[in-house]
Structure 1
Amino acid sequence: MRLYMQIPAADGSAPRYYHLHLQEDLLEGWNLVREWGHQGAGGRVIKDHYPDHDQAMEALMRLRDEQIRRGYRIVFIQGQEQP
């Protein structure tokens, strides 16, 4: 699953973005990759490992809800079913 959120530009600054996506790793686990920053600039990236898809998806949904409460709007969603 891939989720891209954005806060519109304010006070002449670039919009802020928050990007979440799940990746299956080679060791039978899942990584939740979080990237955020200002549009057009280098962002910050953190990868969190989870032993299964369900736990990774729960973490993604928690982070999504947290960012929506902070004012981010969902711009793009690409779904992926569990293999």
Structure 2
Amino acid sequence: MRLFMQTKPTGADAPRYYQLVLQQDLLGGWTLFREWGQQGSRASSKREVYLERDAALTAFEHARDAQLRRGFHVMFSQGFEGPHAR
């Protein structure tokens, strides 16, 4: 699953972005990748590993909801049908 969110540009500043990617690894675990920053600038990232799909999906949804509350808007989503697809 992949979700790309972005803020609206303000004045001369480029918009900020936040990307979430949830992937299953070869051993059956799940990895949640987070990447954020300002368009055209250096990005920050974080990787979290989960043994269970439900725990990984809960972390994905929590991260998504937190960024939506901060004013980010979904620009692109891939790999799931809705906010609570399981």
Q: Tell me if both proteins adopt one fold, taking TM over 0.5 as the criterion.
A: yes
Runs of 4+ in 1 over 3 A off after TM superposition: none
**What are the superposed Cα offsets for residues 40-59 of structure 1, whole Å, 9 maximum, x if unpaired?**
22210100010021111111
Encode CA deviations 1:16-67: one digit per residue, 9 max, x unaligned. Answer: 0000011212332100000000012221010001002111111100111110
Identify the residue that residue 72 of structure 2 maps to in structure 1: 72
Q: Return the offset for 1:11.
A: 2.6
SS of aligned partner of 1:19? strand
Alignment partners' CA distance in 1, 2:59 and 2:53: 10
2:37 is matched with: 37
Equivalent residue runs for 1:18-29 within 5 Å: 18-29=18-29
**Secondary structure of the structure 1 residue equivalent to 2:65:** helix
TM-score of the superposed pair, with normalisation by structure 2: 0.87
| 2:18 counterpart SS class | strand
| Residue identity (%) | 48
Unaligned runs of 5+ in 2: 82-86
Q: Distance in 2 between matches of 1:59 and 1:33?
A: 11
List runs of 5+ in structure 1 lacking aligned partners: none
